[in-house]
Chain A
Amino acid sequence: MSDREFFVGRYEKLDWKYRPVKLRQAVRFNCFNIGGQDLVSRLCGLGLNLEKIGFLSSGYWVCDSKVSAGATAEYLLGLYSIQEAAAQIPVSLFSNVKGKRVLDVSAAPGGKTVQLADAMGNTGGIVALDISKQRLTALVNHLERCRVRNTVVYQLDARNSPKLGLKFDRILVDVPCSGNFASDPMWFQNRTLEDVTRNARVQREILMKASECLSDDGEIVYSTCSLEPEENELNMDWALHHLDLQIAEINCPGAQGLTSVFGKELDPSIARCRRFWPDTTQGFFVCKLVRRRS
């Protein structure tokens, strides 16, 4: 059995039928930099036509374009970022981030870090971590382009985040993951279940260490762009049993998290997670965690 058949077979066991998808390009406005101007009209004047994404506050589909969205003066001025639609969801799930102290554990290339800074209006402070210096270079270029002012960046393995000796009100655990076939045409050829299992283990370690940095009334948003339950629902089930966390309700589109995975019954609260099977967006999984209330 090829890897493709193996993974497609798994998806069918999870009640989703595989079909090739064509992703739509999306952008996110950096409202802090835009001020009051009408950026939709301005970009339309360049031949970049946008349509509002209903479930996002500042996300737009690129309908058609005579210019590359990544090569306009407006992009270079940091007025908008190119960011996949589903990838814009995790940051939007935090409540009230203005003035807060926020940790972004696997930050590069920085799309979500910039989104956080924008949502915070450059108030409070963000600590952004990534293990790779090369990826950090991309991150800091992104921060400079988008005029981010409230972020401190460290080259640090996310599993060492407690070493900073800081507590955070909000923590974004957008973990390194196996990805999905919608955003990587060679995904089925390059991925094995062993990769998935290994990534899931690292993700648990990152989540465990991040949770040590969470303040008592803090919030964690956990996300992956993987479709594999080991990296998603099964990791959340593990977190409920091993960490002092519970899953919060979220107001978000997408399918409910799976509570039965390959014959294993999971905690019913995992239905509060959201799973995005590939369609106009890539595959995605998101969950909001808070400290367990006694």
Chain B
Amino acid sequence: MKGKVIVDFALQFGVKLVFNDDLLFQCEGRFFLLNSNVKSLVRDNFFYAGIYLGKVRSGKFFPSFNLLSMLIEHECNRIVIDRKTSWLFICGRNIFRNSILQAYGKIRQKNHVLVLNELGECLGFGRVLAGFEEQQDNKNSVAIANVLDIGDFLRREREHKNRLDIKQR
């Protein structure tokens, strides 16, 4: 199965994803999901195509935000956080128990959870640090460790700009 690493990743959120192998493409460790229109435009040497799902580097899978968005469409482990915490999470911060407005799915230690804002938009995902239930009494403890957040796009832009600056010097 071509996309086993992606299927395994989705399982950590409690989601069973199924891919059509004919439409799942791998290029230099990066995975892309295509439809028939997009597939008809693909030649051997493409750089990017269709829906980018993530990449494998040094044996570890790094998901894309497209993949996280696909997980939302299923019943999965997720938490909803308040507005102030949303921005802090985007800035790379962890999430305290008292910032979590709602939680769905299996919020157990080491499980992955999608992190949503109050409008249900996916801001990234985190790892549950301790059992959600056991922390009910300690609302000021860190409950979710930030693993990936959409602030990553800004970090990439900054990195790209720095690289260009170095090149121009």
Contact = CB atoms under 8 A, between A and B. Distances in A.
Contacts of B121: 73, 77
A154 B48 CA distance: 7
Given A101-B41, A125-B41, A152 B46 contact: yes
Interface in B71-101: 86-87, 90
Interface in B151-169: 151, 153-154, 156-157, 160, 163-164, 167
A197 interface: no
B58 interface: no
B52 A150 contact: no
Given A140-B48, A147-B69, A149-B50, A73 B150 contact: yes
B151 A76 contact: yes
B114 interface: no
Contacts of A71: 154
Given A77-B121, A77-B150, A141-B153, A125 B47 contact: no
Contact of A137 (B37, B66, B160, B167): B160
Contacts of A165: 43
Contact of B47 (A136, A144, A145): A136
Nearest to A126: B41
Interface string A156-174: 0000000011100000000
Interface residues on B, range: 35 or more
A152 B87 CA distance: 32
Interface string B20-36: 00000000000000010
B56 interface: no
Contacts of A145: 65, 150, 153
Nearest to B160: A138
Interface in B111-157: 117, 119, 121, 123, 150-151, 153-154, 156-157
A123 B37 contact: yes
A137 B161 CA distance: 11
A124 interface: yes
A127 interface: yes
Given A73-B117, A76-B150, A152 B157 contact: no
Nearest to A138: B160
B72 to A, nearest CB: 12
A166 B41 contact: yes
A185 B77 CA distance: 51
Nearest to B34: A152
A155 interface: yes
B64 interface: yes
Contacts of A247: none
A192 interface: no
Contacts of A147: 65-66, 69
Given A73-B86, A73-B150, A134 B40 contact: no
A11 to B, nearest CB: 29
Contact of B49 (A73, A144, A152): A152
Nearest to A74: B121
Interface string A110-146: 0000000000000111010000011011111101110
Interface of A: 37, 70-71, 73, 76-77, 101, 123-125, 127, 133-134, 136-141, 143-145, 147, 149-155, 164-166
13 contacts: A70-B154, A73-B123, A124-B37, A139-B48, A141-B156, A141-B160, A147-B66, A149-B38, A150-B35, A152-B41, A153-B47, A153-B49, A154-B45
